[in-house]
């Protein structure tokens, strides 16, 4: 499933990275706690979060995430958006709550990080 | 940047309390390692360790220096801060132990995961501290890939 399809199923708005929507998403994870993302995230992850400050983007960049979906209708602050543009990280925003957004993607066949472990 | 046949050494300054720039140094460190062609898994582990340490500096220290040293054998990140110091290092290393303020938690950090995350990602992690003076981190990642 690519980001464009994810945008459709989550009825999400693209905040930046309109040109990167063809990227294939292999797995995803959801957390508002960036230390957890750093501990359990893997390169390529699609990050679902409700944390809107620039640390969400910084964390995604450090672990080479494929993109960020902000849940509960949230949007990143200006610093975060600017940083995402610099780093080339696509940002989406969905009205769905965290649990619902994760459930929808999981139901569509996007696994979580633990499925990637041997 | 100093470059020689032995590798590279670059020093950065981190300002305590500057949340808007938090993570910028670790992004630079990551970029330097990418340009040098270090294997991606080692870069990710280095970037995570460096970022967690940098967040600690921003959250707790007055100021700090981060020095990236690269030899043919290892990546070494040394951090010296001027700050409150850590009272009980073995307690601070425990997952979930935290002295974070609500402001720190708002940033998505401060859940007592930082130091354990560094230990998990580094090949060797040394932490020492003098209460009321500051803390020193030595983080090593070996380039032969044997963690």
Mean pLDDT by 10 residues, chain B (147 residues): 68 93 95 94 96 96 97 96 95 93 89 93 97 97 76
Q: Give the CATH fold of the B8-142 domain.
A: Heat Shock Protein 90 (3.30.565)
pLDDT band for position A116 (cuts 50, 70, 90) = confident
Residue A46 included in any domain: yes
Mean pLDDT of chain B: 92
Residue A117 included in any domain: no
Query: A43 contacts in B (CB within 8 Å)?
Result: 40, 44
pLDDT in tens, A1-57: 999 999 999 999 999 999 999 999 999 999 999 999 999 999 999 999 999 999 999
B27 CB near a chain A CB, below 8 Å? yes
Contact: B114, A35; criterion CB under 8 Å = yes
Residue A61 included in any domain: yes
> Which distant-in-sequence residues (6+ apart) come within 8 Å of B133 by Cβ?
B82, B85
Residue A115 included in any domain: no
* Number of folded domains that form chain A: 1
pTM (2 d.p.): 0.92
Query: A37 contacts in B (CB within 8 Å)?
Result: 108
Cα(B14)–Cα(B79) distance, rounded to whole angstroms? 10
Residue A118 included in any domain: no
A82 CB near a chain B CB, below 8 Å? no
- Structural domain boundaries in chain B: 8-142
Contact: A35, B117; criterion CB under 8 Å = yes
CA dihedral of B41, B43, B45, B49, whole degrees rounded to 10: 180
Residues 4-63, chain A, touching B (beta carbon < 8 A):
32-39, 43, 49, 51, 53-56, 58-59, 61-63
- CATH number for the domain harbouring residue A41: 3.40.1390.20
Of all residues in chain B, the one with the smallest CA distance to A54 is B20
Do A45 and A66 form a contact (C-beta atoms < 8 A)?
A: yes
Could you give the residue ranges of the DSSP H alpha helices within chain A? 3-9, 34-40, 54-62, 78-87, 98-107
Domain hosting residue A34, numbered range: 3-18+26-110
Contact: A63, B108; criterion CB under 8 Å = no
Q: Which two tokens stand for residue A70?
A: 């902000």
pLDDT given at position A118:
43
Query: A38 to chain B nearest CA, in Å?
Result: 6
Residue A116 included in any domain: no
């Amino acid at each position: 499933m690519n980001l464009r399809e994810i945008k459709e199923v989550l009825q999400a708005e693209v905040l930046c990275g309109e040109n990167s929507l063809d990227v294939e998403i292999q797995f995803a994870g959801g957390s508002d706690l960036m230390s957890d993302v750093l501990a359990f995230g893997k390169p390529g992850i699609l990050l679902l979060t409700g944390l809107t400050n620039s640390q969400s983007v910084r964390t995604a960049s450090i672990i080479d995430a494929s993109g960020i979906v902000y849940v509960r209708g949230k949007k990143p602050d200006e610093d975060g958006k600017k940083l995402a543009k610099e780093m080339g990280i696509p940002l989406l925003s969905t009205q769905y709550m965290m649990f619902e957004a994760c459930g929808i993607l999981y139901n569509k066949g996007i696994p979580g990080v633990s499925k990637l472990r041997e | 940047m100093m470059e020689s046949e032995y590798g590279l050494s670059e020093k950065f300054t981190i300002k305590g309390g500057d949340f808007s720039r938090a993570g910028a140094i670790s992004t630079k460190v990551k970029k330097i390692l990418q340009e040098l062609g270090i294997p991606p898994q080692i870069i990710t582990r280095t970037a995570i360790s460096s970022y967690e340490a940098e967040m600690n500096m921003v959250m707790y220290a007055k100021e700090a220096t981060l020095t990236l040293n690269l030899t043919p054998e290892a990546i070494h990140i040394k951090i010296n801060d001027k700050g409150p110091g850590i009272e009980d290092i073995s307690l601070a290393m425990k997952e979930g132990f935290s002295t974070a303020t609500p402001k720190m938690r708002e940033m998505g950090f401060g859940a007592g995961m930082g130091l354990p995350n560094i230990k998990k990602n580094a090949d060797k992690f040394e932490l020492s501290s003098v209460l009321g003076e500051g803390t020193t981190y030595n983080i090593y990642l070996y380039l032969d890939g044997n963690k």
